[in-house]
Structure 1
Amino acid sequence: MTHPARAHRLPTPLARLAAGAAAALLLVAGCTGGEPGTEEERGGAEGSGAAATQEGTPALEETGTSAAVDLPGDPAEDPAYAQYYEQSIVWGPCEDLDADGAECGTITVPLAWNDPAAGDIEIAVGRLPAGGEATGSLVTNPGGPGGSGVNFLESVPTLISDDVRAAYDVIGFDPRGVNRSAGIECLSDEETDEYLAATAEPGSAEADQLSEEWAVRVAEACEAHSGDVLPYLDTYSAARDMDVLRAALGEDQLDYLGYSYGTYLGASYAELHPQRVGSFVLDGALDPSISMNEFSAGQAEGFERAIEAFLADCLEAPSGCPFKGSEEEAKQQLLSFFASVDEQPLGTGDPDRPLTGAMARSAVITLLYEDGLWEFGRQALADGMEGSGTQLQYIADLSSERRSDGSYRTNSTFAITAVNCLDHPGVADEAWVEQETERLAQEYPTVGPLLGGDGCAHWPVEPLRDPAPIAAEGAGPIVVIGTTGDPATPYRWSQSLAEQLDDAVLLTFDGNGHTAYGRSGGCIEEQVDAYLLEGTVPEDGLTC
C-alpha cells in the first residue's frame, strides 16, 4: 500500500508543484461523470447513464442523483433561493494565511440544493484586491479536489501575471467539504500520520489487505465525524455554490481560472450556467467523458512516462545523479530503492517518523509536477540512497500539508476521496477490476501497482454522476490548456475536453510537469493574459 502525493498549495520553493493541485493519484478513489439538471439547463445534451456504457466496456456502478441537478429552474431567478443570491461578502482579516493584502469572508449556500429549507453551510472566500482599478473578479480553483482556494492566494503572485492582478480582484474559495468550508473530519493528525506512512510492497497480498483495512477505517471515520455533509460534496453542488459566489461579488458573468480538477469544476459550471460564463481558462483538463478506470490508466501511463523523463534528465546531468547505466537500468534502481525502504525505513532525524516506502514514493511523484525541481529531486534521492530520508520526508510532508508540529493545515487528504467517490463511479465487475489492476502493474511497473482497485468500495455514500461529455452550448469561447508531458492530467484529456466543448480553443505547452499557466516561460502566459485583459481569443491549436 502506498499513498502517492496529494499535492496542493505548497510553500515556496515548492509552490509550483501543485499549480494544478490534483492529487498525484487523482482518482485512486473513484471515477468521473456528468449529467446535470434539467434538459433546458444542459442544452439538450444526453447523459450516458451507468448502463449506457460503450459497447464492450464493463458496466459502471449504479449511481444516485446529485441534489444540485434536476432543479425546477434557474436558482438565481427563483424566490426560494433569493436569500443566497442577494447576499454580499463582508471582507475582513484572514486567519492562517500568508498573503499580503488578502481579505477574507464567507457566503452562505444551501447544504442540499434541491431543498433550501434543509439547512445551510458557509463557504470560505478570500480576495487579493486588484493592484490597479479593478475591472472584475477572477475566481480561481487550484484543483484537488480538496485544494484550498483561500490558501491558493498565497501562490498567486508567483503564478498570475502582474498585469492580470492589476486588473482583477483575484478570488479563492474553499469548496464545500474542504478546509474552512464545512471541512470534513476523518482521522486525527496522529492517525493521518499512520495512514500516510502505511507501507507494504505494492501489488502484494499484504498491500491489498492493508489497503482494505485503511479504506474501511477512513470511510467509517469520515462517516462518524461528517456523515451529515458527505452526500452533498459533489462537483455539481460546488458549481452551484460558485454561482452564488459570482452573485455575491456583484458580477453578471463569472471570469474563472481553474487548474486540474478545477477544469472539471469549471466545465461543470459552464454546463449548468452557460449564459453566465465570462472569460474561462481551464488548464490541465480532466476529461469528463471517461470512466474511473480510464482515469487510472491514463494517470498510470502519465506518471510512468514522467518518471522516465525524470530519470533520463538525471542520467544526462553533469553531476549529482544517483542512478547509473541506461534509462531502464535507472528505473530498476529506483524500484529497488523503493523496495528497500518498504523493508527498512530510513532515518530522518525524528526517531518516531522514519521514511517509509509510501512516503518515498509520495515525494518522488510530487516532484514530477514541476521539472524545474528535478535537480532538487535528484539530491533528495541521492541522500535517500545513501541512507538519509530527511529531504524525501520533507517533500512528502509538504505534499500532504503536514506542519512541523504534526498538525495538518487542511483536510485535503480526505476531501479528495469524499468528492471523487461522489463524482466518479467505477466498473462494477470485480473480476474485470482485478484484471485491470494486474495490467496496470505490468505495463507501468513504477506507478501502475498504486492505481489498481476501487478506493470507494467502502465509502458510505453512493456515486452521484455518470461519465458524459460536456458541451456547455452557448458558453464559449473557453480556453483549454494542455501540457504534453503532464503526468497527472495527460495531454489527451485536454484535447478531449476542447473537442467536447461547443466553443473552445486548445493551447498546447510542449513540456514536462503539471499545467502550464505560470510555468511555461511566457508563451502560454501571453496568450492567456491577452484573453483575460483584452478579450483576444488565442489561435486554436497554438503550441509553444
Structure 2
Amino acid sequence: MTRPRPTGRDRADRRPPRPTATTPRTTTAGRYVIAVALGALTLGAASPAPAAPPPADRLVWTPCAQPGGPADQRCADLSVPVDHRAPDSARLTLRVTRLPGDGPAARRGVLLVAPGGPGGSGVEALAHRGAALRTALRGAYDLVSLDPRGVGGSDGTGCGLRPDDRDVLAFRGWPGPGGDLHGVAVRARRTADTCARNGGAVVRSYSTANEVRDIERLRRALGTPKLSLYGVSYGTYVSAAYAQRHPGHTDRTVLDSSDDPDPTRVGRGWNARTAAGADERFPDFARWAADPARDADGLRLARHPEEVRPRVLALADRLDHAPRATDTPHHPLTGNLLRQTVQQALTDDAAFPWAARLITAAGDPDATPALPPGYGTPVPDRDATVFLATLCNDVRWPRDVRRYAREVAVDRVRHPLTAGQPVTLTPCAFWPGAPADAPVRVTPDGPPALMIQNLRDPTTPYAGALRMRAALGARARLVTVDRGGHGVYLAHGNACGDRAVTTYLRTGHRPASDLRCTDGPGT
C-alpha cells in the first residue's frame, strides 16, 4: 500500500543473529516498500521445528538509536508463536522498539505507531518520526512499534526468489508493450511456486491477522490496558483491524492515508485504485514542471501544464519500442521504467526533480539517462517475500488469467499513465490454498477514530479513504487536506490538519464533523 522508495540506510540496531526455530534474520541494509498488490503463498517447505515457549513475555530494553534518530530509542525482543492457534509450537522473535514519553505532566499512555507496507519497519518509523511525534504530543505517550515478522530486526525468512524476479519492474508486474501479460504470467507462476516450495510455515504466517495478534501480544507484554494507535498507509488497515478485534484494549486511533477495507479485495483493490490516483495527482507535477522557476535548473518540461502529460506519454510509448541505454549496465530505460519513475515521484513533491531529470535526459539523444536510486538493484528477497506473502495470505485473489488480461486492456485505455500495471496479474493468482483467516470487516461498531487524508494521494487515493470513512460510520471523523502526495500528519506543515490530529491525541477532542483543510502552514 505504501510506496516506500528504495533506500540505503544502515541499521544501527542490528545484532548478530541467534539460533531460532526459523531462518536467522537477515542483515540487509535498506528496504523497498513497493505499492503493488502482489501476494504470498500458502503451501511450502517443512515447518520450523517446535520449540518450548518462554515462561512469560518479558521485554528487556537496550539502546538501539538509529542514525539521525532520537538518542534514547530502545529495543527489545518479543517471542511470539509462528501459529497463534498452536502457541506451544515453533516461535519467532520480533524486534520491538520504544521511545519513552518525556512529559510526565501530560502523561496519557502508550501510542503504537503502525508503519506502512506491508513490510515497513517500526524501528525505522520511530527513528524517523519519533522526535516530531514526541514534540507535537508534548511527551504524553510512550511511543512504541515493532518490526513485523520478516522485517528488519525480526525473525523471518524469504522465498529464495530469483534476482531477476525481484527487479523493480518485474516485481511490480508491469505488462509488456501493448499490455502483453505472457512474461508477467511466467514470472508470477514461478514466484508462487518458489514460495510454495521454500516458504514453509513462516511465510504462510505473514498476514495482517497475525500482525494484529502480535500487536496484542506486545500490549500484554507492555502491561498496558489500552493502546492508542497511529497507523500510516498500510498501517491504517492494521490499526483499523486491531481496533475492530480488540475494542476494549483500544484508546485513541488515528488513520493517516487510508484505503478501502473491503474484505473481498483488500490489497487487490488498493493497487487497482492507484491508476485513478496517479491521474488525480499528475496535474500537481505538471504545474511544477511547467513553472518558469524550473528554467534555472534545466527541468522545465513544457511552457504550459497541459503539455506535460502528452510529452510523458509520447516519450514512454517511444521507449516501449526503442529503449535507451542508461548509466547502469543491463538496465535500459524502457517505457515502463519511465512510467514507474513518474508514478513513484508522485508520492512526494521532493521527488519531482529526479522524475523531471529522467524525462529530460530520455528526450535528449546526446544524454545518458541516470537511473533513480535503487532502480538498478533487485528488491531484497526477504522484503519482497513479506510484501507478497502478506497481501496474498490476506485474501483469495482471482485465478483466471484471461480476466487480468481483459482488465489490463481496459485500464490501459482509461489510465495510460500507469499502462495497466495497477490491475496486473500477480503471484497471488497462482497462490495455493486458502487464506488461514477471513479478512477483518471494519464496521461502525467500535472505538472512535480520526482519519486524515490528502485529497490527491496517488498511493492511497481519496476514493479509497471515503470507503474507509463509510465503513467506520459515525465513529469516525475525516480531516481532508487539499494537497497532493502520500502521508499527511507532521509531513508537510499543514497547520489545520496537524492541529486536528494533535488535539485529538492529546485531549480526545475531535472535530464535530468532517473537516476540510486547505494547503499551507497558516490554514
* TM over 0.5, shorter chain: yes
Q: Write out aligned runs for 1:110-125 (5 A).
A: 110-125=81-96
How far the C-alpha of 1:540 sits from its partner, in A, is 2.5
CA–CA separation in structure 1 for the residues paired with 2:173 and 2:402: 23
From 305, 308, 321, the equivalent of 2:280 is: 305
How far the C-alpha of 1:145 sits from its partner, in A, is 0.9
CA deviation map 1:191-246 (0-9, x unaligned): 46646468998354784122122212322333344222122212111101101111
Aligned length: 474
Q: Write out aligned runs for 1:80-479 (5 A).
A: 86-94=56-64, 99-101=69-71, 102-133=73-104, 135-157=108-130, 160=133, 162-164=135-137, 166-187=139-160, 190-191=163-164, 194=167, 196=169, 202-204=175-177, 207-289=180-262, 291-292=264-265, 294-318=269-293, 319=295, 320-324=298-302, 329-343=307-321, 345-351=323-329, 353-386=331-364, 387-390=367-370, 392-394=371-373, 396=375, 408=380, 411-427=382-398, 430-455=401-426, 456-464=428-436, 469-471=441-443, 473=445, 475-479=446-450
Judged with a 3 Å threshold, the aligned counterparts in structure 2 of structure 1 residues 434 and 353 are, in CA distance, closer, same or farther, namely closer
In the alignment, structure 1 residue 25 sits paired with structure 2 residue 22: no
CA deviation map 1:140-161 (0-9, x unaligned): 1221111112222231157536
Judged with a 3 Å threshold, the aligned counterparts in structure 2 of structure 1 residues 270 and 375 are, in CA distance, closer, same or farther, namely same
How far the C-alpha of 1:518 sits from its partner, in A, is 1.8
CA contact (8 A) 1:424 1:464 kept: no
CA contact (8 A) 1:283 1:516 kept: yes
From 495, 501, 504, the equivalent of 2:472 is: 501
Structure 1 stretch displaced more, 297-306 or 323-332:
323-332
How far the C-alpha of 1:275 sits from its partner, in A, is 0.8
CA contact (8 A) 2:134 2:141 kept: no
Q: Tell me the TM-score normalised to structure 1 length.
A: 0.77
CA–CA separation in structure 1 for the residues paired with 2:172 and 2:360: 21
Judged with a 3 Å threshold, the aligned counterparts in structure 2 of structure 1 residues 311 and 294 are, in CA distance, closer, same or farther, namely same
Judged with a 3 Å threshold, the aligned counterparts in structure 2 of structure 1 residues 215 and 470 are, in CA distance, closer, same or farther, namely same
CA–CA separation in structure 2 for the residues paired with 1:534 and 1:230: 41
SS in 2 for 1:118: coil
CA deviation map 1:108-131 (0-9, x unaligned): 112112221222111111223334
CA–CA separation in structure 2 for the residues paired with 1:460 and 1:469: 23
- Equivalent AA in structure 2 for residue 543 of structure 1: R
- Equivalent AA in structure 1 for residue 443 of structure 2: A
- Equivalent AA in structure 2 for residue 501 of structure 1: L
CA contact (8 A) 1:425 1:466 kept: no
Structure 1 stretch displaced more, 340-349 or 295-304:
340-349
The structure whose RCO (Cα within 8 Å, separation 6+) is larger is: 1
Judged with a 3 Å threshold, the aligned counterparts in structure 2 of structure 1 residues 189 and 131 are, in CA distance, closer, same or farther, namely farther
CA contact (8 A) 1:97 1:151 kept: no
CA–CA separation in structure 1 for the residues paired with 2:211 and 2:187: 27
Identity in percent: 28
CA deviation map 1:299-318 (0-9, x unaligned): 21111222243223322343
Judged with a 3 Å threshold, the aligned counterparts in structure 2 of structure 1 residues 106 and 384 are, in CA distance, closer, same or farther, namely farther
How far the C-alpha of 1:419 sits from its partner, in A, is 0.5
- Equivalent AA in structure 2 for residue 221 of structure 1: T
CA contact (8 A) 1:271 1:472 kept: no
Q: In structure 2, what is the equivalent of residue 39 of structure 1?
A: none
How far the C-alpha of 1:132 sits from its partner, in A, is 3.7
Judged with a 3 Å threshold, the aligned counterparts in structure 2 of structure 1 residues 508 and 348 are, in CA distance, closer, same or farther, namely same
- Equivalent AA in structure 2 for residue 274 of structure 1: P
Structure 1 stretch displaced more, 250-259 or 114-123:
114-123
- Equivalent AA in structure 2 for residue 231 of structure 1: R
From 7, 16, 32, the equivalent of 2:4 is: 7
CA contact (8 A) 2:315 2:363 kept: yes
Judged with a 3 Å threshold, the aligned counterparts in structure 2 of structure 1 residues 323 and 278 are, in CA distance, closer, same or farther, namely same
Q: Tell me the TM-score normalised to structure 2 length.
A: 0.79
CA contact (8 A) 2:316 2:335 kept: yes
CA–CA separation in structure 1 for the residues paired with 2:67 and 2:171: 31
CA–CA separation in structure 1 for the residues paired with 2:213 and 2:318: 48
CA–CA separation in structure 2 for the residues paired with 1:472 and 1:85: 38
Q: In structure 2, what is the equivalent of residue 16 of structure 1?
A: none
CA contact (8 A) 2:66 2:127 kept: no
Judged with a 3 Å threshold, the aligned counterparts in structure 2 of structure 1 residues 29 and 121 are, in CA distance, closer, same or farther, namely closer
- Over the residues paired in the alignment, what is the CA RMSD in angstroms? 3.5
SS in 1 for 2:201: coil
CA–CA separation in structure 2 for the residues paired with 1:272 and 1:242: 11
CA–CA separation in structure 2 for the residues paired with 1:196 and 1:442: 20
CA contact (8 A) 2:156 2:202 kept: no
- Equivalent AA in structure 2 for residue 208 of structure 1: L
In the alignment, structure 1 residue 517 sits paired with structure 2 residue 489: yes
CA–CA separation in structure 2 for the residues paired with 1:483 and 1:105: 34
Structure 1 stretch displaced more, 506-515 or 331-340:
331-340
Judged with a 3 Å threshold, the aligned counterparts in structure 2 of structure 1 residues 328 and 215 are, in CA distance, closer, same or farther, namely farther
CA contact (8 A) 2:278 2:458 kept: yes
- Equivalent AA in structure 2 for residue 26 of structure 1: V
CA–CA separation in structure 2 for the residues paired with 1:314 and 1:246: 47
- Equivalent AA in structure 2 for residue 513 of structure 1: G
SS in 2 for 1:87: coil
- Equivalent AA in structure 2 for residue 305 of structure 1: E
What residue ranges of structure 1 are gaps of 5+ in the alignment? Answer: 13-20, 31-62, 65-82
SS in 2 for 1:505: strand
CA contact (8 A) 2:236 2:255 kept: yes
What residue ranges of structure 2 are gaps of 5+ in the alignment? Answer: 10-30, 44-52, 518-523
CA–CA separation in structure 2 for the residues paired with 1:424 and 1:471: 18
- Equivalent AA in structure 2 for residue 371 of structure 1: D
CA–CA separation in structure 2 for the residues paired with 1:369 and 1:214: 27
SS in 1 for 2:481: strand
